[in-house]
Chains A and B, each alone.
Chain A
Amino acid sequence: MRRGESRAAHSSRKVSAVTALPTETRTPRTATRRGRRAGAPYSFLAPALILFVAFFAAPIGYAAYLSLRRVKVSGLGLGAGARTEVWAGMSNYARSLTDPDFLPSVYRIGAYGLIVVPTMLGLALLMALLLDAGRTRVGTFSRTAIFLPYAVPAVVGSLLWGFLYLPRVSPFTDVVQLFGVEPPDVLTGSWVLWAVANIAVWGGTGFNMIVIYTALRAIPTDLFEAARLDGATDKQIAWRIKIPIVLPSLIMTFVFSLIATLQVFAEPMTLKPLSNTISSTWTPLMKVYRDAFVRNDIYSAAATSVVIAVATFAVSFGFLKLVGNRAFNQED
């Protein structure tokens, strides 16, 4: 099993070596075709552009517009002409940012991110390195098992863990009680943050592990064979050779994990019926949901949406700039 894999990985290295030709060398020839079929690239791009405008650009634009509007009620607010939409300036932003529920939800998401991202990526890297070092017979089994939660929707994962957190169901209750200790109810108080974080770590580690593992398998063996002959240990090889080489993969998994953290919604929404601690504004996106659908204040919801979208973009883009990588392989 192990051998087949290694050989397979080996052949992929050859494939990637072949495909690694820089595309720039081909550009001149592509350019010669330009005159003849100038319209072709645009027709290939048309469906994507139409959908992008309709479901990315237009919603952001419409939300930005709504965030600057408000309803003006004249008289008693009765009759068709009594409620009109007028310009509101920045008042929705002021209102949504100073909402007493907003900042706590931002801090909560910050703390959640500080728990989830390092834990998840640390575990993913550790598991990927262990798999790659190839000193075990349980590699294929463990790889499949750890990847499996990615196939489980966040809602279902939260549902399963939610039941396991209930003291009446949790197996830990039985075990801990054997020692005469009363276990904490993880669905209450400050435990909830950890309870939700655990679901995210459970669901995300496998995917990130596979991404890192794939990158590790693509490292040519001779890069660390020499180090091994010189007596380097697995740990030294991992720290000094493998991790620096897969750093770009780690950066990308970091950015995607960060984005996923900022938009956490399904897990706390699912756990909500099981826990009184999770409020309807537990995360920023939940607050947007409450404002839009419970309070029917779409203007404030729109303002908060715009803030979250801009913040997500700023954080991920800023991080990519900070690490000095040219974001996403831009060629020209």
Chain B
Amino acid sequence: MTVSTVIPAAPISTAAPSGKRRIGNRKNSTLATVLLLLGAVYCLFPVLWVLIASTKSSGELFSTFTLAPSTHLFDNIGDLFAYRDGLYWRWMANTALYAGVGAAVSTLVSAMSGFALAKYDFPGKKFVFNVILAGVLVPGVILAIPQYLLLAKIGLTNTYWSVLLPSMISPYGIYLSRIFAAATVPTEVLEAARIDGAGDWRTFGRVVLPMMKSGLVTVFLFQFVAIWNNFMLPYIMLGDDHLYPLTVGLSGLLNQGANQPSMYITVVTGALISIIPLVVLFLSLQRYWRVDLGAGAVKA
């Protein structure tokens, strides 16, 4: 069960292996560089476009050359924030609420159950684990409509809860946490805590959680991005546009553009601003994104 979650970025000057690995035919290096740059250009192009497009005026969007910037960025941002008394801000705040609270609760729930599944032996353990694995293979999005039908029955649809509650459970998060708990929490430490008279919950809070910390950051990020990017669940659950997250709000704005082409530039500006928080989060936490998915399956 090999897990290499976090690779600490250590500034090191001597590294023999990398020197050795670089020796060889130099021909490859040009081809590799070109291919990697092509990949980077392909991935960055839409982002570059949205940066440029949001500086154009509504008329220029469809008339001037695609990559020719203009000077209307701040007008566009002003228009976006003025749209229905700052509804866009509200979407931003809703998205942060759904993703932040949902991912935090989900991470805690995952850590607790992952720890229990990794470090305890109890009747029904295998059954619980298999059921959770089945949950990994049937992701929540497919269940969004059944979830809607059920929540409608108890009158919870079109509330913050209807998006938050289903986001709090992540079978994949539980599966990952179980791997992290098994790999990072030595049984000897648990024994020591027990001998010192600490109860299970105290041990979990004081000893286990700190040990699992870096793994849990990964679980949190996974769930945070999943909720932030989710479209179908809030799209189905919510009717009131004051409860919308960005994805549903922007999709609605795009629909309006069909009748009101001047909305298009607002949509484009909204798209640009909506990706800034997550891009910043990604670039600053990149080192936590090194999860070995296959780790689970290689075990001898």
Contacts and interface: CB of A to CB of B under 8 A. Distances in A.
A269 B128 CA distance: 36
A210 B200 CA distance: 36
B22 A134 contact: yes
Interface in B246-296: 246-248, 250-251, 254-255, 257-258, 264, 267-268, 271, 274-275, 278-279, 281-283, 286, 289-296
Nearest to A63: B146
Contact of A309 (B6, B143, B191, B248): B143
B197 interface: no
Q: Is the interface of A mostly helix, strand, loop or mixed?
A: helix
Contacts of B9: 4-5, 8
A107 B165 CA distance: 34
A332 B29 CA distance: 46
Interface in B143-176: 143, 145-150, 153, 165-166, 168-169, 171, 174-175
A248 B2 CA distance: 12
A131 B21 CA distance: 12
Contacts of A131: 36
A126 B36 CA distance: 9
A241 interface: no
Interface string B1-25: 1111011111111110111111011
A92 to B, nearest CB: 13
B121 A31 contact: yes
B130 A330 contact: yes
- Is the interface on chain B under 10, 10 to 19, 20 to 34, or 35 or more residues? 35 or more
A326 B133 CA distance: 12
Nearest to B187: A26
Interface stretch (A43-51, A71-79, A95-103, A180-188): A43-51
Given A48-B112, A171-B65, 15 more contacts: A4-B11, A7-B10, A20-B2, A23-B182, A29-B191, A45-B117, A146-B36, A147-B289, A150-B225, A174-B65, A210-B289, A252-B293, A305-B146, A316-B137, A329-B295
Interface of B: 1-4, 6-15, 17-22, 24-25, 28-29, 32-33, 35-37, 39-47, 49-50, 53, 61-63, 65-67, 109-110, 112-113, 115-122, 125-126, 128-143, 145-150, 153, 165-166, 168-169, 171, 174-175, 179, 182-184, 187, 191, 194, 200-201, 204, 225, 228-232, 235-236, 246-248, 250-251, 254-255, 257-258, 264, 267-268, 271, 274-275, 278-279, 281-283, 286, 289-299
Interface of A: 2-13, 15-16, 19-20, 22-23, 26-27, 29-31, 33-34, 37-38, 40-45, 47-49, 51-52, 54-56, 58-60, 62-63, 66, 123, 126-127, 130-131, 133-139, 141-142, 144-157, 159-164, 166, 168-171, 174, 202, 205-206, 210-211, 214-215, 217-218, 221, 225, 228, 233-234, 246-253, 255-256, 259, 262-263, 265-266, 269-270, 273-274, 285, 288-289, 292-293, 298, 301-302, 305, 308-309, 312-313, 316-317, 325-332
